[in-house]
Structure 1
């Protein structure tokens, strides 16, 4: 599982530690060149784009901002679509702006599955609304239902 969150790069991030306390899976900040292992949650460090290559190798980049952001959900989703094709799952949660909308199109065009938080339940509606607006979203769900859907999809796509 690969996670991008828009954080202020001037401050130390604790998102991996917070998630680790709430999840049964190991959580860590992604490192350039490491191999993405099943069952591990990788979080993009602040001010780094997180990408995954065809062999599951993670790369971090300080290339140009996308929608004034780094890391970018669009770049992550596009790389996941290229690496995993129909096994890819993209999920867009609460957030401002439209990051993720182009990326969900890439995931859908490669046969992957796209989930968006129901904008009515999101604290910040911009990102989920933009994703839903693409027409590429398979499931629009309240936050509390998303984990169960992802677990079911992962089991199905493994087979």
Structure 2
């Protein structure tokens, strides 16, 4: 099935709120993307990310409480104690496993690579550990693109550094510049030529 818009998955953990805000402060409402935000959450506390981001974007913010079709122009948010995959353009929500280490970014990135191919974009922001690395590798293998927050601007550098050290991100930038890069990547070809 041909994809008519880009699916942008954003993975973040500790220290991820500030870069998320900075990123979405620079995203226009007419961008040809759907966003899926995967953050490391406590199992038993309701995430307030929808309320926090609502002050920084006019795009609809949707908590993924059930399976749903992915639609352009929306920001989908992982909720507490769940993981999510994308299959045939549908977001499939499942219970989080009982492992201590959170692998929600890898789980979604891998499904994004398989479902969206070159129309999939993964972005890694502040966070500790390696979650997202294996998924980023698969995104690259399937023709998608991976971008990373510049570790010098990240509160916690583990997740961004793991991608830089073991994979090949197309951009390593501060969050506002990641947004600008994404706008350029997702623009129609005629607009790209004009911008260049």
- How does the TM-score come out when normalised to structure 1? 0.91
CA distance in 2, matches of 1:82, 1:121: 31
- CA, structure 1 residues 100+77, in 2 after alignment: closer, same or farther (shift >3 Å)? same
Match of 1:133 in 2: 165
Is the aligned partner of 1:64 residue 2:97? yes
Match of 1:41 in 2: 75
Match of 2:21 in 1: none
Q: Determine if contact 1:67/1:99 at 8 Å carries over to the other structure.
A: no
More strand by share: 2
Map 1:68-107; keep pairs closer than 5 Å: 68-69=101-102, 72-107=104-139
Match of 1:124 in 2: 156
CA distance in 1, matches of 2:42, 2:183: 30
Cα distance, 1:156 vs. partner? 4.5
Unaligned 5+ runs, structure 1: none
CA distance in 2, matches of 1:127, 1:67: 17
Match of 1:110 in 2: 142
CA distance in 2, matches of 1:100, 1:146: 17
Size of the aligned set, in residue pairs, is: 156
Match of 2:65 in 1: 31
Structure number with greater Rg is: 2
CA distance in 1, matches of 2:115, 2:164: 23
CA distance in 1, matches of 2:53, 2:121: 19
Cα distance, 1:24 vs. partner? 2.1
CA distance in 1, matches of 2:73, 2:147: 19
- CA, structure 1 residues 65+133, in 2 after alignment: closer, same or farther (shift >3 Å)? farther
CA distance in 2, matches of 1:63, 1:30: 13
Match of 2:45 in 1: 11
Quick one: higher RCO (CA 8 Å, sep 6+), 1 or 2? 2
- How does the TM-score come out when normalised to structure 2? 0.74
